[in-house]
Amino acid sequence: MTGLTFASWWDAANACHNDDPWSDPELYAFVCDGTQIGFLPAKVWNVVCRYVEEAQIPLQLDATTRVMTFSCSCNSFDARTMAINRLAQLLRENGEFPDPLNACALFGLATFGVHLTAFTPDGRIWVPKRSETKATWPGRYDNTVGGGISAGDTPYDTIVRECGEEASLESEFVKKHLRSVGVITYFYKTELGFRQPEMQFLYDLPLPTNDVVLAPNDDEAQSFELMDKDTVLHHIYANEFKPNCTLVLLDFFIRHGWLTPDNEPNYTKLAALLHTPLRLPTP
């Protein structure tokens, strides 16, 4: 762990929601069909300019307006997907930016995922610890189940599948007890300055008994353990959770009445922070 600790929910939440790219004049805009879809730091813009020219990627970059957009000939979903994939592959092959970094982070594109919290009748939460071999946040605590939504998938189908892959839960059991509980949105700025606007679709899985046991079913997690709310909060304040998991758990604490205006001075600010408008295209 980094050794960093947080003094409050507000500090912990802002370690993930730590950016407002719309207010940063140093960023370049990625625009598609007249709508901004992403944000590029100058170091990405400068490298992309070179690759677009040398590899003839169908993108146009205007330094005066600070806008990158697709060329007129690149006007279909498939063509645009191929163009970005080709550019990202070239950047990766030539080691232009450090791994692990995906194209969405490079270009500041919004990503969408699912997160689920499974909890027992006595109010304990199943918490996995990420594998030490994970490329991102190895060894950190995580939400019970989570994952990115692939193009063409629905949040519901994604979370049901991830429950089987990550926590060894049968799909019929999940479908019977699953509850959709909303979304959260936030802007995350990495230590290297890349922008990651994110929207997470949230689910609760209230387990019918204390005897249901969750266990890893792939290499995502190394273990699962049950934690009461005080233990969860201790690990949050110790900066031992993957950053966006703190926001998911904050939402859970609010919805389940564990965090209230009576015990949290920043209650209204925290509730608003979880639903920051991305001002980008979303589902």
> What is the average per-residue pLDDT within 221-237?
95
Average pLDDT in the chain: 94
Structural domains of the chain, with CATH: 9-19+109-274 (3.90.79.10), 21-107 (3.30.750.160)
In three-state secondary structure terms, 278 is coil
- What is the distance between the alpha carbons of residues 47 and 15, in angstroms, rounded to a whole number? 28
8 pLDDT tier (thresholds 50, 70, 90)? very high
The identity of residue 69, as a single letter, is: T
Residues 6+ apart with CB under 8 A from 197: 21, 39, 108, 109, 110, 111, 185, 186, 187, 188, 278, 280
Q: What is the pLDDT of residues 122-142, one digit of tens each?
A: 999 999 999 998 888 899 999
> What is the average per-residue pLDDT within 243-264?
98
Q: What is the pLDDT of residues 80-98, one digit of tens each?
A: 999 999 999 999 999 998 7
> What is the average per-residue pLDDT within 170-180?
98
Give residue 220's pLDDT: 81
In three-state secondary structure terms, 142 is coil
Give residue 99's pLDDT: 65
Check pLDDT > 80 for residue 4.
no
> What is the average per-residue pLDDT within 10-15?
97
> What is the average per-residue pLDDT within 15-35?
97
Q: What percent of the chain has pLDDT over 70?
A: 98
Output the six-digit token pair for 146: 């989570």
Residues 6+ apart with CB under 8 A from 207: 118, 119, 120, 121, 177
> What is the average per-residue pLDDT within 4-29?
95
Check pLDDT > 90 for residue 100.
no
Check pLDDT > 70 for residue 45.
yes
Residues 6+ apart with CB under 8 A from 37: 30, 31, 109, 110, 280, 281
Output the six-digit token pair for 162: 């991830």
Is the pTM value of this prediction over 0.75?
A: yes
Give residue 97's pLDDT: 87
Give residue 1's pLDDT: 42
Closest alpha carbon to 13 in 268, 238, 273: 273
Q: What is the pLDDT of residues 27-44, one digit of tens each?
A: 999 999 999 999 999 999
Q: What is the CA radius of gyration of the chain?
A: 20
Decide the pairing of beta strands 111-119 and 145-148.
Answer: antiparallel
Check pLDDT > 70 for residue 73.
yes
